[in-house]
Structure 1
Amino acid sequence: MSETTPVRTRRSGPVAAALVAGAALVASCASPQTSARGGDADEVKVALVTSVSGPLASYGEQYLQGFEAGLHHATDGTGEVDGVKITVLEDDDAGDPAKGVSLVKKRIGQGVPIVAGTVASGVATQIAPVAEQNETLYISGPAATDEVTGAGDHTFRSGRQTYQDVVTAKAILAAGSGGAGGGRVVVLAQDNAFGQANVAAVREVLGTDGTTVAPVLAAPSATDLTPTARKVLAEDPDMVFVAWAGDTAQSMWATLEQQGVLEQATVVTGLDIRASYSVFGKARDRVTLLAHYVPGATRTPEAEAMRAYFAEKGWQEDLFSPDGFNAAQMVVEAVEAGGADGDTKAMIKALEGFEFSGVKGPNTVRAEDHALLQPMFQAEFDGRTPTVTRTLDPAEVAP
């Protein structure tokens, strides 16, 4: 992944669609005589592997809807690139790494040249090496673990990563404290890939200037979180950084309230999906929110296009809608560059340094490690819905 790859820009929407070149992609695992599209010269297949069932199913739905809207926008509603149909194959990994890897291997064996997704960090970290070994382009989804960044030449991100969340939290806290450091930070998370990535990122970003970072990790299957909250209190924290995903969020926030954690320390957390807004309960007005995305808060052409498409479908934009939209834009860019020969190196070169306007604002694929540089937000609840109080420039929160 070259650091000297020149930065290019791409216009999105109808003008971009008119400029897209035809593509016939060849999977690396196929023989030179085998079409990467199952023998159909007018079709390119893209495998979307993500959670349609399981604890992160709602995240997967948002990603898939965003992808559909993004593909519609980037191809001017045709679903085609210069007459070549893009066929999307959806697979449910259910949040299971073994199942996700099996699905990806199956699709690669069928000659599918591009894989996109997933929402589960544990699945993404297993897909990336498979893509690398088979020289298949992999555009990761909302999975936030930092391990995906720099995982290989063939792996790219379409969403943010944990480090960007934590740097956003640091900027928020610095603004509130006048830049003062020190103190004790507890990371409250689940004991899985996502939670462990948050612990590592908080230690790296906040564990400076005399600040001590201690993890309190709960089993992902835990339903009684009182012992976990008591562990947090026992650490006597100045700040609690909460990184939590899934169906137990409401129980977690209620337990923190009941056990007095919100009174003892400043609590910082990431804004989750719409369905989670009510789970904060009494904690709503006492937490500091960092936000990957706040629905309705941006006014880019892509955001407006996504909202128009969603309105026609009866959908609501949500936290991970932009990630799917980004992934579709990146797929179109890759197909344009890959050409009829399915040149994987050309696809990689096209995406490295790729600058494009997304739902959130300006995006840049960093050439050297394929991180996606993007804006991040600080938010607060205004009644029942969150509003943006501060937008952080991509450079401010770059990994």
Structure 2
Amino acid sequence: MPVTSAHPRRTRTLASVAALAVAALLASGCAKAGTAGSDSAAGGGKDSAPVEVGLVYSKTGPLAAYGKQYVEGFQAGLDYATKGTGKAGGRTIKVTERDDAGDASKAVAAGKDLIGKGTKIIAGSTDSGVALQMAPLAAQNKVLYIDGPAATDAVTGINGYTFRSGRQSYQDTLTAAAMLGDAKGKKVTVLAQDSTFGQANVSAVKAVLGGEGAKVSSVLAPPSATDLTPFARQVKSAGPDLVFVAWAGATAPALWTALDQQGVLSSSTVTTGLAGTASYPVFGSGGAKITFLAHYFAGAAGTDAEKAMIESVEKAGGTPDLFTPDGFTAAQMVVRAVEAGADDVDAMVKSLEGWTFEGVKGEQKIRAEDHAMLQPMFQAKLTGSGATAVPELIKTLPMGDVTPPVQPQAG
């Protein structure tokens, strides 16, 4: 099977959507996931080779905190889905981690190497730009690819071999739209970074809220910008009814300080995504003025799977966080796929399409038409400030209320 270079990103007319906003610096570093070895094949006396699974994710780099959460969730999910055996369909699941450091070229190189060694399942992308390069590689080589925390809507429907274990940006925006009420005639400003992530946010809000009659504008800052006061001033001068903030990275504290100092938090309704636990203090005293859309926070769901995940992660010395469920769900998908056909990728794909299962967040479904991961979403608020800030659930939106439109598969 040939291993070819990833194609450039496809230009799509997808209604890309806005996203979880504030990332914090967390310490990275994580333990190896999975197990190694071999098992006796069912009905036979010979040892069966393990099923090789590659995790290509941001172990280091700007999104290392998210990568750490993902891997901890994957470990917990693998234990949960295999009932502690590390095996599925009579085969041991052997996991190999590769660090892409948030660099698409490194991710593709790692993916090509894994595929060349016989790996048929690859998971993990933390960065949206990386995911858009890994998906074509999977299709070219006919391997199962399961996107991780990377939320770009362009992954949905990109090809028949690509799935996702987390939410996509459209679900974030639908969650925000549900809390905003009638958008007709309102002025909405999207504040984001000028990146794949940020540009998708603008397109998303235009598609969803603009489609409901809102007048949508944007303020985009270079990802390298550290002085964010000028951008906060631009937002203030636009006089929006709603500010939709979508931000990722270490400059989040500076951003929220600038917005508070320039009076944006007091003069407009501000909504953003609730990021990881270490990010809560960055909002400072302004946190109480923000309405949050939430992909996940520990304790939000109350499901049996969530309880198992939290127990497993904490027992291993970790802390359940924003993207821990994405890893957990990916492991559930891997086990499902291996049980259907450890060496038959087409059988793996078929087994995942249309699959409804109980995940960390509740009932989830992989839509057969475009492999969107349908799932509940949450609305939340922060109580307290600084180190004492904690999220409080306002409302759970069932997956049917936050379902993105079907995207035809590109190939």
Partner of 2:193: 190
Secondary structure of the 1:55 match is: coil
TM-score, length-normalised on structure 2? Answer: 0.85
Whether the 8 Å contact between 1:22 and 1:335 is mirrored in structure 2 is: no
User: Deviations for 1:140-176, whole angstroms, at most 9, x for unmatched residues?
Assistant: 00101000000100000100000000010000111xx
The verdict on how the C-alpha distance between 1:131 and 1:192 changes in structure 2, with shifts beyond 3 A counting, is same
Secondary structure of the 1:395 match is: helix
User: Deviations for 1:351-377, whole angstroms, at most 9, x for unmatched residues?
Assistant: 000111111111100000000000000
Deviation at 1:22, TM superposition (A): 6.2
Quick one: distance in 1 between partners of 2:309 and 2:353? 25
Quick one: distance in 2 between partners of 1:105 and 1:200? 32
Quick one: distance in 2 between partners of 1:208 and 1:138? 32
| Equivalences for residues 107-118 of structure 1 within 5 A | 107-118=114-125
Answering whether residue 144 of structure 2 is matched by residue 137 of structure 1, we say yes
Answering whether residue 86 of structure 2 is matched by residue 79 of structure 1, we say yes
Partner of 1:165: 172
| Equivalences for residues 44-193 of structure 1 within 5 A | 44-174=51-181, 179=182, 181-193=184-196
Which amino acid letter does the alignment assign opposite residue 134 of structure 1?
Answer: N
Partner of 2:3: none
Quick one: distance in 2 between partners of 1:160 and 1:216? 24
The verdict on how the C-alpha distance between 1:209 and 1:146 changes in structure 2, with shifts beyond 3 A counting, is closer
Point out where structure 2 has 5 or more consecutive residues left out of the alignment: 1-39, 405-411
Secondary structure of the 2:48 match is: coil
Partner of 2:244: 241
TM-score, length-normalised on structure 1? Answer: 0.87
User: Deviations for 1:98-136, whole angstroms, at most 9, x for unmatched residues?
Assistant: 111111111111111000011100100110011111111
Whether the 8 Å contact between 1:294 and 1:388 is mirrored in structure 2 is: no
Partner of 1:282: 285
Q: Aligned residues, how many?
A: 357
Tell me which stretches of 4 or more aligned residues in structure 1 moved more than 4 Å.
Answer: none
Quick one: distance in 2 between partners of 1:210 and 1:313? 49
Partner of 2:301: 298
2:396 maps to which of 388, 391, 398 = 391
Secondary structure of the 1:208 match is: helix
User: Deviations for 1:184-219, whole angstroms, at most 9, x for unmatched residues?
Assistant: 111111111111111111110000343111111111
Quick one: distance in 2 between partners of 1:209 and 1:386? 29
Deviation at 1:82, TM superposition (A): 4.0
Which amino acid letter does the alignment assign opposite residue 65 of structure 2?
Answer: S
Quick one: distance in 2 between partners of 1:371 and 1:209? 23
Deviation at 1:80, TM superposition (A): 1.3
